[in-house]
Structure 1
Amino acid sequence: MSLFTHAALNWLCIILQERFGLCFNLQPNQQGLILTLSEHEQGSIFFPRLENRFHQCRSALPFTEWNATAERWESVCGDSLPAPGVASLPKPLIERRADQAIVHYDILGLTYWMLSRLEEVGRTDLDNHQRFPATSSHAYQHGYLERPIVDEWLHILGQVIRQIWPQLPLKKHQFSIKVSHDVDTPSRYGFRSVKGIVRSMAGDVLKRRDIKSALVAPWIRLNNRHRLHPLDTFNTFDWIMEQSERNGLVSAFYFICGRTDPAKDADYEPEHPAIGELMQRIHARGHEIGLHPSYKTFQQPEAIAAEADRLRSIMMKESIKQSILGGRMHYLRWEHPTTLKGWEQAGMTYDSSLSYADLPGFRSGTCYEYPAFNPETQEQYKLRIRPLIAMECTVMAERYMGLGTGEAAYAKFQQLKESCRAVNGCFTLLWHNSQFESKEEMVLYQRLLA
């Protein structure tokens, strides 16, 4: 008897259709699941070994690996594939009988468990920002966080599909890069209070030994009424857009439109004339504007919807029209599936929050965008999930990996980028506009876009 609901099977069929470009049917029977095409196409793929563990909200799953190369299958990220959910696998893993293939690993269960983020539902082992940390995940504990294992296993499934239906062409995907920028602080000084300016100037002199910045701070603050000041070190927006345009990319800038925690949220109001002018400039150059819901909204779906409406109102006032509206949660705060409901309720096109703050990698096991699914209610949403692979401070900052801005950081980013390339997926990178204060940071960013 199938462990999947009818809704989950339909969702998996859509994921497979998006990946391979074919319309599949998934039929349960007493032994497992049968994957077929239309009634006019002969052949099937049978999954007799469905794992109950892939339908449980926990990380304590067994683990093994499968040597695909040894069994004459192409593995794109190494000879062996991580195989969560089981302690051992039979040999051969994939059998061929007439016009049917039998796959003795629950690839569809793995896909469901990873993409639905069922592992994260109801978790209490959270960090100081109430986030589910990478270190609590099965992927980290078993060493595959930096591998797109869903994409790797679907690549194996694609080879099986080609054997069963050799006459049908499969959809081809191309590697791509998407860059986005959370606008936490569009100006270093422009929106600060008098007390905040004085504190910043003291920090410039005493901590950073940057007397020049301290001297220009009051001038920037006074001349920020209609446009961000060009001397402001956080005003890197034109430079960011220039780098994207040189590489044929579109930058997405996500703005905070609420203040649920004054200590953690932005010091600007999105209706400010200088922010309106910035949005107009971004739009005029063909880049994207999106939402960065404020700190406490991750547990308040109605607050996410209200802030999305506020952004839409501002964009309407500025005569900015976009066919899509996406974004990312502030501090990557995510309570599953509460936060997901908020994005759906807000009518957003996509969310790109699903990465860990403490470590980079493939939180959902994929670098492909996919339709959102609520594992609690078994509902497929209109919302799309756009996995985030790396945030700059996760790799560079001392409080996380601490790799700095040199070759060690470049190597880590590049490793993740090449893993995305291996599966013809999308390397999605978050880099804050305020994180370009040194030449080393700027050079590192330029190298990653090349």
Structure 2
Amino acid sequence: MPLTKAYMQLSDAALCWLETILLERYGYPFVLKWDGDRIRMTLSGASGEICFDTLQSVFSKPNSDFSCGFWDGTAENWQMASEEFLPTPAVTEPPVPLIRKIDAGYVVHYDILGLTYWMLSRQEEVGRTDLDKHGRFPAIASNAYRNGYLGRPIVDEWLNLLGQVIQRQWPALELKRHRFSMKVSHYVDVPSRYGFDGTYRLLRGMAGDLLKRRDWRNMYFRVTSRVNTRSRLYPADPVNSFNWIMDISEQHELTSAFYFISGRTNPRMDATYEIEYPSIRRLMRDVHARGHEIGLHPSYNTYRNPVKIVAEADRLRRVCGEEGILQHEWGGRMHYLRWKHPVTLRGWEAAGMTYDSTLGYADRPGFRCGTCFEYPAFDPVECKALKLRIRPLVAMECSIIGEHYMNSSLGQGARQEFLRLKAACRAVDGCFTLLWHNSQLCSAEKRKLYLDVLSQ
């Protein structure tokens, strides 16, 4: 039988990519094949199958406007990663039973594979025009936000369930075990408060301090910071929190990734430093010497221009090479989390980067890709797997405490939100990926919140 109209986009290339996802998750080379309007999942050398017979057309389209129900897996004797019912995007009323034993194996009456494809490939975002002022697809436009599951890694929860079906079908298999982990990263947008100000900006700031604010102390600090930020960052600068960040990461056995801007496509939005500056070169040497990571933070207007992403990646690697900095992998994240899918994705691939960690929302924290696991990228327009890996971003500090986003206080509310997301990652043995700007660690209150998030 020919493929159904609903699934014309789920090609052999997409199935092959999904097989890679399953291999990384479970440790076995499962085979996915079309059988009429169903997909059969088998394992070479083993009898039986798992069949998916209820496929959803919306998972092959760039669409968010569809329904979502919830399924009580515990009522059918399955273990759930969350105490809440499992969301079923595209299905309002899941059938009972949802998973049925048959002679050949099991039949799953929910499109787990389609959901996985739709969420991980970001098919939902292709060609969207409902964007925010920075040209970003916002969380509030997503199906996940509209249906209340953005705060849950639902792909991981469904794949955990599928793992249970696999073990019932092939009980001799010992599936791959995963362990909870954390990855922390930091934008180097503002390495110095005033140290890289141009002459005009410096004089204008000094005049404002003197004439408007009557702040002699800050005027003096502007001049001192500018004079002392040449061969190294000024130690007394409050945004120079890099050594403190690395100290804390090392205490928690973490590696911090510092993402540097190496271009300027919008002077108002991009950094005021150049990576060739002696003080920035020294910072990169210090980061590398302590065993932490240097990465790319492409400038503001590169997200629609793969050629510029390639140029800025090459510039960063060139400067690092001049400083004797060698790394096995190169990754990073887009400035302002700007992302046009899949154009930006292609830029990272063309630049030969190892991973990108942009895919989290700015306006809300949570699971944009439905997962907290790193995975191989897929271009849903050209319908092909890429060498680039996606490292989903779960939480950016500004999304929670920033006045333009959730605007939570620095107290218990923000702490609970960070820890709730961290617990959701731990429940599926995934990775909690956290972004915290160095310039957002100037106060004792913010440092305490950061420490609480890492420690709990």
TM over 0.5: yes
CA deviation vs aligned residue, 1:216-266 (integer Å, no higher than 9, x gap)? 220110111100010111111000000000000000000001000000000
Q: Aligned-pair distance for 1:208?
A: 9.1
Partners of 1:152 and 1:377 in 2: CA distance: 28
Indicate which of 256, 260, 276 corresponds to 1:255. 260
Task: Answer yes or no: is the 8 Å Cα contact 2:372–2:425 preserved in 1.
Answer: yes
Match of 1:10 in 2: 16
Matches within 5 A, 1:391-430: 391-430=396-435
Partners of 1:85 and 1:205 in 2: CA distance: 61
Match of 1:23 in 2: 29
Indicate which of 369, 373, 376 corresponds to 2:378. 373
Whether 2:277 is the aligned partner of 1:283: answer no
Whether 2:232 is the aligned partner of 1:227: answer yes
Task: Answer yes or no: is the 8 Å Cα contact 2:260–2:295 preserved in 1.
Answer: yes
Match of 1:35 in 2: 41
Q: Aligned-pair distance for 1:87?
A: 2.4
Once structures 1 and 2 are overlaid, which stretch shifts more, 343-352 or 194-203? Answer: 194-203
Match of 1:268 in 2: 273
Indicate which of 69, 72, 75 corresponds to 1:64. 69
Partners of 1:205 and 1:91 in 2: CA distance: 73
Whether 2:445 is the aligned partner of 1:437: answer no
Match of 1:388 in 2: 393
Match of 2:187 in 1: 182
* Runs of 4+ more than 6 Å apart: 202-210
Match of 2:343 in 1: 338
Indicate which of 347, 355, 364 corresponds to 1:359. 364
Task: Answer yes or no: is the 8 Å Cα contact 1:68–1:79 preserved in 2.
Answer: no
Partners of 1:42 and 1:99 in 2: CA distance: 8
Cα 1:378–1:87, aligned 2, differ >3 Å: closer, same or farther?
Answer: same
Task: Answer yes or no: is the 8 Å Cα contact 1:69–1:79 preserved in 2.
Answer: no
Task: Answer yes or no: is the 8 Å Cα contact 2:241–2:442 preserved in 1.
Answer: no
Partners of 1:154 and 1:204 in 2: CA distance: 57
Cα 1:188–1:36, aligned 2, differ >3 Å: closer, same or farther?
Answer: same
Question: What is the Cα-based RMSD across aligned positions, in Å?
Answer: 1.5
Partners of 2:139 and 2:392 in 1: CA distance: 14
Partners of 1:78 and 1:206 in 2: CA distance: 59
Q: Aligned-pair distance for 1:404?
A: 2.3
Whether 2:301 is the aligned partner of 1:296: answer yes
Cα 1:206–1:410, aligned 2, differ >3 Å: closer, same or farther?
Answer: farther
Please report the TM-score for the alignment, with normalisation by the length of structure 2. Answer: 0.96
Partners of 1:288 and 1:155 in 2: CA distance: 31
Aligned residue for 1:289, secondary structure, equals strand
Q: Aligned-pair distance for 1:69?
A: 1.1
Task: Answer yes or no: is the 8 Å Cα contact 1:99–1:164 preserved in 2.
Answer: no
CA deviation vs aligned residue, 1:75-106 (integer Å, no higher than 9, x gap)? 11124100101222210000112340100000
Indicate which of 330, 334, 342 corresponds to 1:329. 334
Match of 1:127 in 2: 132
Partners of 1:370 and 1:160 in 2: CA distance: 22
Question: Structure 2 regions of 5+ residues with no counterpart?
Answer: none
Q: Aligned-pair distance for 1:203?
A: 6.7
Q: Aligned-pair distance for 1:72?
A: 1.1
Match of 2:352 in 1: 347
Match of 2:106 in 1: 101
The size of the alignment, in residue pairs, is 449
Cα 1:202–1:135, aligned 2, differ >3 Å: closer, same or farther?
Answer: farther
Once structures 1 and 2 are overlaid, which stretch shifts more, 417-426 or 79-88? Answer: 79-88
Question: Structure 1 regions of 5+ residues with no counterpart?
Answer: none
Q: Aligned-pair distance for 1:196?
A: 2.1
- The alignment-based identity, stated in percent, is 56
Q: Aligned-pair distance for 1:28?
A: 0.4
Task: Answer yes or no: is the 8 Å Cα contact 1:301–1:343 preserved in 2.
Answer: yes
Counterpart code for 1:174: R
Counterpart code for 2:359: L
Aligned residue for 2:308, secondary structure, equals helix
Match of 1:149 in 2: 154
Q: Aligned-pair distance for 1:170?
A: 0.3
CA deviation vs aligned residue, 1:129-177 (integer Å, no higher than 9, x gap)? 0100111100011010001000000010000001011101000000001
Task: Answer yes or no: is the 8 Å Cα contact 1:372–1:382 preserved in 2.
Answer: yes
Indicate which of 83, 92, 95 corresponds to 1:87. 92
CA deviation vs aligned residue, 1:243-302 (integer Å, no higher than 9, x gap)? 000000000000001000000000000010100000000000000000000000000001
Q: Aligned-pair distance for 1:193?
A: 1.4
Cα 1:194–1:164, aligned 2, differ >3 Å: closer, same or farther?
Answer: same
Counterpart code for 1:269: E
